[in-house]
Structure 1
Amino acid sequence: MSNETASDVWSASVTDEEQPKPPIIIGVATGLGALLWLAPFMGLNSVLNPAKLANIMGGAGAEVNNYIAMLGTIGAIVSTITTLIIGALTDITRTRWGRRTPWILAGSVLTALVMVGLGAVNDRSQLWIFTLLWCGIQTFINMIVAPLIAVIADRTAPKHRGLISSVYAIGYIIGQYGGPVIGGRFLSDANPALVNTGYYALAIMMLLSGPVAAVLMREKSSLGMPKLKFDAGVFKDHFSFPTKGARNLYLALFGKMMINIAVTAFSVYQLFYLTSGMGVDSDTAGNYISAMGVATMVTAIIFAPISGPISDKLGTRKKVVAFSALLTAIGTIIPFVYQQPASMVWYGVVAGIGAGIFFSVDQALNLEVLPNPQTAAKDLGILNFANTGAQILAPVAGAILFQIVGGQYMPILPFLSIIALVGAGLVMLIREKH
């Protein structure tokens, strides 16, 4: 039995009365942690992996594209499964360092080691090793992601969750859009081996993610929490999909998945909207895609810090998330209506505002639809399927729509707008507590 007092140990959550001031340090800890794991991951996934595979497989082409698509599908499936398992294990972890910290630290070390291993793969005969290591990354990185997000649920009162989610979102957005920029610094036609250096440099960032978050958040001991005997009841509560009081969770899951499918499918075909749809050459298309990316990042960073506090003041999450989906739908339809290359930049502006709002308030909404604070990390893992599921389903949905509209790209866009609006409608069906 622990000798620690109740104030020194974890509880599953904190009330508004117990936390009159916002725990800004939790937002900073989780935001920096997110930046330090997401930037390396995006640098690998978006830049270094394609470059390395092109080097190994003799140039960019259909073979490389098919292999990358296969990696994406396998990775999303592995990530979905491991997020649930790891999240559940962190919920029942009892150590003097808390429930989340040991997993976050171990995840940062293991993921960094696997990244070094990926950098060392340089031969076509080793592609099976590359595939296994990529599955390893998808597993070990969830030892950071799942518990890091759960810390916000553990340590933040409901009235502050919008603000803290906004702070988290700033780190997340910088990591998402900045990671490919960092990865791009390690591309060189004159020195293809520089790509390997990129893996090692980004591994250092990943290695820092766990310690930086752990030092800042200073998680208290969980030894005073009730010990759980691993029986059928614990397995049902901690390792299965919830059924009791989970209506809001599933509405949030499928609503956000629809929004993410619209955004991801747009991204998958953005080059073809410009080339096949608007008739520009590849170089020009690349310039417009870059400009669109900058517009999206800038507007998202501007709107992320203010959206969470606004949702706190309004006392609602679902309406703000639904509004972000409406902006996504409007942005998506702009290139279809005008069919000029500049319309893609306007998509970046409008959808970027939506993205900033969404990233900021999304986590706050996630926390408020959890059916049981005791299983927060596991249930947040289920909600993460809104992201991983979209990665799998968006290319499939795009391919189906491409066939339905007669083998053209531009007519896909109105359908993607409708998908985003359906997502907004599902989110609006959530019953909020007032």
Structure 2
Amino acid sequence: MSKSTENEVVWQDTIQDDQQPKAPIKIGLATGLGALLWLGPYLGVNAVLLPAKVQQVAPSDKAQIVALLASAAMIVATLANIIIGGLSDLIRSRWGRRTPWIIAGSVGGLVTLLWFNAASSVIMMVVSWCFYQVFLNAIVAPLLAFLQDRVAPKHRGTISSIYAFGYVIGQYGGQVLGAQFLSTVGTGIIVMGVLTLFAGPLAAVIVREPSSKAMPKKHFTFDMFVQNFVFPIHHARDFYLALFGKMMINTATTAIMGYQLYILSDYIKLNTSGQQKYVSIISTLMMITAIVMSITAGPISDKIKSRKIPVFTAALLVAIGVAMPAFSNAPWTMIVYGLVAGLGMGIFFSVDQALNLEVLPDPNTAAKDLGILNLANTGSQILGPIVAAAIVTAAHGSYYGIFPVCAALALVGGILVLMIKKVK
């Protein structure tokens, strides 16, 4: 890092390989802990405690209200991710560009979850849940931007692996933790809010982001607005290939996961106890394989100096995994799906973020562009159930067609990634 005339560390948009001989493990720890502490509480509430809260407030309309909350949240989260990411890129402060946002997001996340917990009407639940999405996304995009700002390209696979480890633990562990509070829903939501409060401050203390005050300030002009708040236009071919490749791979998995219970009951023909048994087996397999691969795939990616090959391998494994139940409706095919697709998603979680960082059109707008790439996650959560429902409807209630279609989606996603030119 160079120093200004005031002996102040000056922000650099990127760190070059020769400036960072050793992997900055602390950046991985900061982003991994941050991901664990925002994603775990979010999924603990969203997947477990929110439906329980809705059942308490409006039991007769619970399905429609949960759908309303999900739809509103997706719209708000998408906009907030891009707008806050763009604002984060523009911030000039003694605490840097990202730190003020992740701390504000953590505090706001606690406050809005307490508000949601106190809501006694549907409209208040919707409003408080939407505000929660805004503050949550004040953590997400700026936190990811640390990987672009502070990690040299040659270390991004390793550091993304540490981030992915926290992400995977949060993804699976948050729901397990949330389930422990089903008899005391209000207490559970408060606990999740308190955990969220630690996400930004812990990451900020570990990273110790340098001041961004020495960076040139940008005045509001039309060109500045286009650069910082609009989808990238120039030098963005690889960026969009990564975006849509990621969306296809994620859609393949969310379509299966969203209809997993119905697949087990109507296609595999299991009774209730069988469904519970296989949901547990599949979830455990996917968690274990995702954790193992999230630790190992990133360093391997750095070693072979390739992002596209691991991501394509991940897409291929997902395609093989989701295709297996098409060959037989025997229960073992769903176990193979959990094992093979879990391996693929573990590799994908680990290396995909490193790939994303290397296709960004402009390091000056990293947080905004990473927010746009996050549309692949939110978009797939919408597309997955839509694709699955369309297939089942067209086939007059048969679930068979989901498997080959999702396998094809994963392969298309992998091929789109292979078409990226500026990343090995």
Question: TM bucket by the smaller chain?
Answer: over 0.9
Q: Please, which runs of 5 or more residues in structure 2 have no aligned partner?
A: none
Q: Return the alpha-carbon distance in structure 2 between the equivalents of residues 261 and 429 of structure 1.
A: 19
- Work out the CA distance in 2 between the residues paired with 1:307 and 1:386: 21
* Counterpart residue identity of residue 148, structure 1: L
Question: What is the aligned partner in structure 1 of residue 25 from structure 2?
Answer: 24
Alpha carbons 2:355, 2:423 under 8 Å: kept: no
Contact 1:257 1:386 in 2 (8 A): yes
1:390 and 2:400 are equivalent in the alignment: no
Q: Provide closer, same or farther for how the CA distance between residues 65 and 283 of structure 1 changes in structure 2, counting only shifts above 3 A.
A: farther
Task: Give a deviation string over 1:223-265, Cα, whole Å, max 9, x none.
Answer: 0111111111211111111111000000000111011111111
Residue 278 of structure 2, aligned match among 288, 294, 315: 288
Counterparts of 1:205-220 in structure 2 under 5 Å?
Answer: 205-220=195-210
Read off the aligned partner of 1:209 and give its amino acid letter: A
**Equivalent position of 2:109 in the other structure:** 111
> Does the CA contact (< 8 Å) of 1:115 and 1:203 recur in 2?
yes
Question: How high is the sequence identity, in percent, across the aligned residues?
Answer: 50
- The count of corresponding residues between Structure 1 and Structure 2 is 421
Counting only pairs closer than 5 Å after superposition, residues 302-313 of structure 1 correspond to structure 2 as 302-313=292-303
Gaps of 5+ in 1: 189-193
- The alpha carbon displacement at 1:3 in A equals 4.6
Counterpart position of 1:381: 371
Which TM-score applies when normalising by structure 1?
0.95
| Contact residue 15 and residue 157 of structure 1 kept, 8 A | yes
Task: Please give the alpha-carbon distance, in whole angstroms, between the structure 2 residues aligned to 1:13 and 1:58.
Answer: 51
Match of 1:346 in 2: 336
Mapped pair 1:133 → 2:134: no
Partner of residue 82 from structure 2, selected from 80, 84, 92 = 84
The range that moved more, 175-184 or 331-340, is: 331-340
Query: TM-score scaled to structure 2, two decimals?
Result: 0.97
* Residue 241 of structure 2: aligned partner: 251
Match of 1:416 in 2: 406
RMSD between aligned alpha carbons?
A: 1.3
Question: Aligned residue for 1:299?
Answer: 289
Name 1:200's counterpart in structure 2.
Answer: 190
Q: Could you give the per-residue CA deviations for residues 371-397 of structure 1, whole angstroms, max 9, x where no partner exists?
A: 100000001011000011111222211
Candidates 73, 76, 95, aligned match of 1:75:
73
Matches of 1:344 and 1:65, distance apart in 2: 27
Counterpart in 2 of 1:191?
none
Matched, 1:427 2:422: no
Q: Could you tell me which of 59, 62, 82 is aligned with 1:64?
A: 62
CA distance in structure 1 between the partners assigned to 2:65 and 2:332 by the alignment: 32
Instruction: Give 1:30 shift.
Output: 0.5
Partner AA of 1:219 in structure 2? E
More off after superposition, 78-87 vs 399-408: 399-408
Q: CA deviation at 1:345?
A: 2.2
Q: What is the rounded CA distance, in whole Å, between the counterparts of 1:5 and 1:363 in structure 2?
A: 34
Deviation for aligned residue 1:433: 4.3
- Which residue is equivalent to 2:154? 159
- Which of the numbers 162, 166, 169 marks the counterpart of 2:164? 169
CA distance, structure 1, for counterparts of residue 75 and residue 310 of structure 2: 30
In structure 2, what is the Cα distance between the partners aligned to 1:384 and 1:106?
A: 20
Matches of 1:160 and 1:4, distance apart in 2 = 31
Moved over 4 A (4+): none
